[in-house]
Amino acid sequence: MSKKLNIGLFGFGVVGQGLYDIIKTKNLNLEIKKIAIKDPHKERSLPSHLFTTERDELLNHPEINTIVELINDTEAAFEIVSRALSSGKNVVSASKKMIALHLDELIALQHKYGTSLLYEGAVCGSIPIIRNLEEYYDNELLHSISGIFNGSSNYILSKGFLENLDYDSALKQAQDLGFAETDPTSDVGGYDAKYKLVIAAAHAYGVIVQPDDVFNLGIQNLSAYDLQYAREKNLKIKLVPVAKELDDRHVALFVLPKFVNDKEFLYNVEYEYNGVIVQAAFADQQFFFGKGAGGHPTGSAVLSDIAALRYDYQYEYKKAKERKDLNFTNNIELNIYLRYEDEKLVELLNFSHIHERYYSGTYKYVIGKINLQSLIDNQQVIAENKAFVAFADQLAGVNLAAEVKQTAEVL
């Protein structure tokens, strides 16, 4: 028998409204008691008595036993979630940045107070990847997790490839449709994908990494030359986060644009859709596909978590308990494509091997092998040079499993 959930909902934007639309079609033994909002003057589709601007009305409400947090203020979200967990209320959240930044503390709070925090909606919208990593793959050795985790950047790339739209025009369309923010840095710069990757890696490998330690380079320097090059090679460019176990002791995480060919799952993931590839030792390669954003897709993931709380479901963080010897490292080698202007940048990056170079009056690129730490050390110079960097295993005639490897002993 499921228990009755009395919900306090923080945020009634696209996802909050989408969640409500779904809930009203179901009979799930739950009730939304109160909704906290920022703007009391905005016209709402529900009776005014349901809304408040005071968070304490929800957090201190004696009947509310479940908090659903769907706001876009990272630190306010952390305060709400931590207070709720500490006061015996279970929580569902879709705030990927907040969870990635504070995951250690949030796990500790759950253990201390015996409460549950679920966040399927924080990673890849409607795709149930967290629950699968936590449950289905709990005893599986995972070689890697990669994919398209951000619908906004994928929409822009799809517009460029499929409709020959330049980057600025594609970005404006994404903003007009609500896929990208007025400041699109989090999406196009790979930060949003990085937060999701950090969360997924915690369940896949049991390694909790601070987002600032994970390298991310986005698509903001993409040019028509890069798109033309990809078309000539029958490739597409996708923004791809990667988590990979290198050996028994080390796991690497990074976010980079990547050239993909028509044999790869990600080749046909377009517009606002997401795709997650899990490479497992025994289950082999498996692919999850679905909408990565939007009120109803993300709302469905949030509702799945709410429904699970009716039966007192908790993440067990099994891999974290089992794997105490696995450490994060940036000491790996990658094959990259670098389109650049200043020759000094190639020297600074210190390629260990160059497969191909091209020069023309307006377009120069190099394809070769480089240590990830060199990209990290020169990230500012890459930005100033307006250079474009992409993971280029296909161009070097190798695959991810062969080329993403540890190059030196890491303490």
Element containing residue 163 per DSSP (H, E): helix 151-163
Check: CB of residue 247 under 8 Å from CB of residue 219. no
3 state SS for 54-65: CCHHHHCCCCCC
Q: Identify whether 196 is a catalytic site residue.
A: yes
**Distance between start and end Cα atoms, the chain:** 50
Listing DSSP states for 8-31 in one string gives EEE--SHHHHHHHHHHTT---SEE
Predicted confidence at residue 409, as pLDDT, reads 37
Report the DSSP beta bridge partners of residue 276.
147, 288
Check: CB of residue 167 under 8 Å from CB of residue 156. yes
> Rounded distance, CA 16 to CA 59, Å?
18
Predicted confidence at residue 396, as pLDDT, reads 57
- Collect the ranges in the chain with pLDDT lower than 70: 1, 396-411
DSSP-based three-state secondary structure for 354: strand
**Which regions of 2-125 does DSSP assign to beta strands (E)?**
5-10, 30-36, 51-52, 66-69, 90-93, 117-118
Which position among 159, 196, 236, 258 bears the catalytic label? 196
Check: CB of residue 78 under 8 Å from CB of residue 102. yes
Predicted confidence at residue 357, as pLDDT, reads 96
Residue 53 DSSP code? S
Nearest to 335 by CA among 257, 247, 402, 403: 403
Predicted confidence at residue 295, as pLDDT, reads 87
Q: Are strands 235-245 and 284-291 parallel, antiparallel or unpaired?
A: unpaired
Report the DSSP beta bridge partners of residue 332.
406
Distances (CA, A) of 244 to 205, 218, 255, 278, 328: 9, 19, 12, 10, 10
Instruction: Name every residue whose Cβ is closer than 8 Å to that of residue 130 and which is 6 or more positions away in sequence.
Output: 119, 120, 122, 123, 199, 200, 203, 315
Q: Residue written as tokens 């000539």?
A: 232
Cβ neighbours around 325 below 10 Å, total: 8
Check: CB of residue 219 under 8 Å from CB of residue 258. no
Predicted confidence at residue 399, as pLDDT, reads 44
Residue 293 DSSP code? S
Predicted confidence at residue 200, as pLDDT, reads 98
> Rounded distance, CA 300 to CA 294, Å?
10
Tokens of 385: 């040079």
Domains and CATH numbers, the chain: 5-118 (3.40.50.720), 139-290+326-406 (3.30.360.10)
> Rounded distance, CA 202 to CA 387, Å?
32
Please state, rounded to an integer, the average pLDDT across all residues of the chain.
Answer: 93
> Rounded distance, CA 170 to CA 172, Å?
5
Tokens of 199: 């969360």
Predicted confidence at residue 117, as pLDDT, reads 98
